[in-house]
Amino acid sequence: MDVFDIGLIVLFAMTAIFYIVLFSFIFYWHLKKISFVIVPAVFSFEFFAMGFFVISIVSIIIQYLPVVIRASGI
């Protein structure tokens, strides 16, 4: 299994945890006038986008770290 695949599985697990926490806060959101559709959609998109970029960057660093170490001569 590739590092990116493991990171993607972790991202999906963290997204599931995010949705559990998000829907638990809906109880408190009914006290304020906000949208029940737009706000969770925006929050979940931001969470998934940030997680995807973090996992992509970490997997790229792990993939090319041996090449950089060999090139630097350390």
Encode the chain (74 residues) as per-residue pLDDT tens digits. Answer: 777 788 778 878 887 887 777 777 776 666 666 666 666 777 777 777 887 888 888 888 888 888 888 888 76
Say if residues 40 and 22 touch (Cβ distance below 8 Å): yes
Q: What is the pTM of this model?
A: 0.51
Residue 18 has what pLDDT?
78
Q: In degrees rounded to 5, what are phi and psi of residue 31?
A: -80, -20
**Helix, strand, coil shares of the chain as percentages rounded to 5?**
80, 0, 20
Residue 44 has what pLDDT?
73
Residue 38 has what pLDDT?
64
- DSSP state, residue 32: S
* Residue ranges making up the domain that contains 53: 3-72
What domain count does the chain have? 1
Residue 36 has what pLDDT?
63
Residue 38 structure tokens? 């737009």
